[in-house]
């Protein structure tokens, strides 16, 4: 039995250059003959820019003299001084028990005491050690934790964010993500198509607007300042898909992140412009319906504010015949209690699942299982502030999630997840 021997943590930087938590756990495997063998696993915790009010707390130091107050030394201290003494000596195979102990040790509803960034770092590293203890790949071990039939595993469908707006970019577009999702049969084919469309888009943008238009947003997508309306971004996406040779074989998805421009009961599409452009819920619904008629859109994430369960439900009902995914992110924040509310109110038919929104591997699996039982899709997601930890690739496959988004087909912290999926596909094909 492999037991936790030592837990260490350090402050590293994420893809935006902000501090985040990295965890290392040393475990000792007891052998019948000879000495125990020391085994080590690690994890690195991502961070979001567009965050929901109901997410688990990402603990920051608040000391303006270090990293503008964004340091995570308090979270690291909590790992070393509060979490480690409780978990050391426990079996790495006790994932649920370990996660529950950390939840109880924290003692708050939103992990405000220890910090979700502290708890999640430990939880992910423990899962990696559990896989090692079973001599399994991480995705294989996660199937056991999630109760998934390993013989029925399939690779997840990717959603590549190749135009950035909203809080992820300095342009004037209100919507946060414009994604493409090739549907060509294998992940390798989808990945290739995503890359070819990405580079075609780059050439089109440079030709139309100059080199400055090919500057990248937080998630690796292009963020041209020339776009002022969502239709402009969608038109050029459709052009890039066609010129790359994938017309009618690639779908489009939107992450609106509407909570970011929800003001006094209305939606300000001009929140990054010099003049406001307020829309009511009814007007937003008409905008979405018209976009779906004009473009090959299959998924709309966070179309309304994070408190507007009824507006989500209204849009879902309006789009039922079009079979559009209405995805909850800020609305549900990967939290089982809020997912239950969304199920009761029929607000969504798809869940965006972010590990750091809830804070443990066990709770994230529970969130997916709730969504699946309700007939929803699950899209596992990265964060805009990422690391080179590829945990979510194995996680998406292992729990049986049908979809994943990890940004564009560029930047190391994005493609490491996709590259891992290539390897997993070879193993399960």
For the annotated catalytic residues, the residue numbers are: 219, 354
Contacts of 206-210 with C-beta under 8 Å, sequence gap 24+, read 208/236
Q: Residue 283, by phi and psi: left (phi above 0), alpha (psi -120 to 50) or beta?
A: alpha
Closest CA to 95 of 308, 363, 410, 393: 363
Residues 6+ apart with CB under 8 A from 211: none
Compute how many other C-beta atoms are within 10 angstroms of the C-beta atom of residue 292.
18
Q: Name the packing angle between helices 336-344 and 361-373 (round to 10°).
A: 10
Report how far residue 240's alpha carbon sits from residue 382's, in angstroms, rounded to the nearest whole number: 25
Core vs surface per residue 324-353: b (16+ CB within 10 A) or e: bbbbbbbbbbbbbebbeebbeebbbbbbbb
DSSP string, 224-272: -TT--SHHHHHHHHHHHHHHTT-TTSEEEEEE--GGGGEETTEEETTTT
Closest CA to 99 of 385, 382, 409, 365: 365
Report how far residue 415's alpha carbon sits from residue 400's, in angstroms, rounded to the nearest whole number: 21
DSSP code at position 156: P
Report how far residue 283's alpha carbon sits from residue 287's, in angstroms, rounded to the nearest whole number: 6
CB distance 259 to 305 below 8 Å: yes
Beta-bridge mates of residue 326: 300
Report how far residue 356's alpha carbon sits from residue 56's, in angstroms, rounded to the nearest whole number: 7
DSSP code at position 333: T
Report how far residue 185's alpha carbon sits from residue 207's, in angstroms, rounded to the nearest whole number: 32
Report how far residue 166's alpha carbon sits from residue 350's, in angstroms, rounded to the nearest whole number: 22
Instruction: Judge residue 80's burial from the number of C-beta atoms within 10 Å of its C-beta, 0-12 exposed, 13-18 middle, 19 or more buried.
Output: middle
């Amino acid at each position: 039995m492999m037991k936790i021997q030592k837990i260490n943590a350090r402050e590293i930087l994420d893809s935006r250059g902000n501090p985040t938590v990295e965890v290392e756990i040393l475990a000792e495997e007891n052998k019948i003959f000879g000495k125990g063998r020391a085994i080590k696993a690690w994890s690195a915790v991502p961070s979001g820019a567009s965050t929901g009010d109901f997410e688990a707390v990402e603990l920051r130091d608040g000391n303006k003299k270090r990293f503008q107050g964004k340091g995570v030394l308090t979270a690291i201290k909590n790992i070393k001084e509060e979490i480690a003494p409780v978990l050391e000596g426990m079996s790495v195979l006790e994932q649920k028990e370990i996660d529950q102990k950390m939840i109880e040790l924290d003692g708050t509803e939103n992990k405000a005491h220890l910090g979700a960034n502290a708890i999640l770092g430990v939880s992910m590293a423990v899962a990696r050690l559990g896989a090692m203890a079973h001599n399994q790949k991480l995705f294989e071990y996660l199937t056991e934790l999630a109760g998934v039939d390993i013989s029925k595993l399939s690779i997840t469908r990717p959603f590549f964010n190749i135009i950035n707006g909203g809080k992820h970019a300095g342009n004037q577009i209100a919507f946060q993500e414009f994604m493409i999702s090739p549907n060509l049969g294998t992940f390798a084919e989808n990945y290739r198509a995503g890359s070819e469309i990405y580079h075609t888009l780059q050439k089109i943008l440079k030709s139309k607007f100059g080199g400055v238009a090919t500057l990248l947003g937080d998630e690796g997508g292009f963020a041209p300042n020339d776009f002022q309306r969502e239709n402009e971004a969608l038109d050029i996406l459709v052009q890039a898909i066609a010129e790359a040779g994938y017309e009618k074989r690639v779908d489009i998805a939107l992450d609106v992140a509407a909570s970011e421009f929800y003001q006094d009961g209305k939606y300000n599409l001009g929140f990054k412009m010099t003049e406001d452009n307020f829309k009511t819920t009814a007007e937003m619904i008409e905008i979405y319906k018209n976009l779906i008629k004009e473009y090959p859109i299959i998924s709309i994430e966070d179309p309304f504010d994070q408190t507007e369960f009824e507006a989500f439900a209204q849009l879902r009902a309006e789009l039922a015949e079009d079979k559009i995914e209405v995805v909850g992110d800020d609305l549900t924040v990967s939290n089982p209690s809020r997912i239950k509310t969304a199920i009761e109110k029929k607000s969504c038919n798809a869940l965006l699942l972010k590990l750091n929104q809830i804070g443990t591997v066990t709770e994230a699996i529970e969130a997916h299982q709730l969504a699946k039982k309700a007939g929803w899709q699950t899209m596992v997601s990265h964060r805009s502030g990422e690391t080179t930890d590829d945990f979510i690739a194995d996680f998406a496959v292992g729990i049986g999630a049908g979809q994943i988004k990890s940004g564009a087909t560029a930047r190391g912290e994005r493609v490491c997840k996709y590259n891992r999926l290539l390897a997993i596909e070879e193993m399960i094909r």
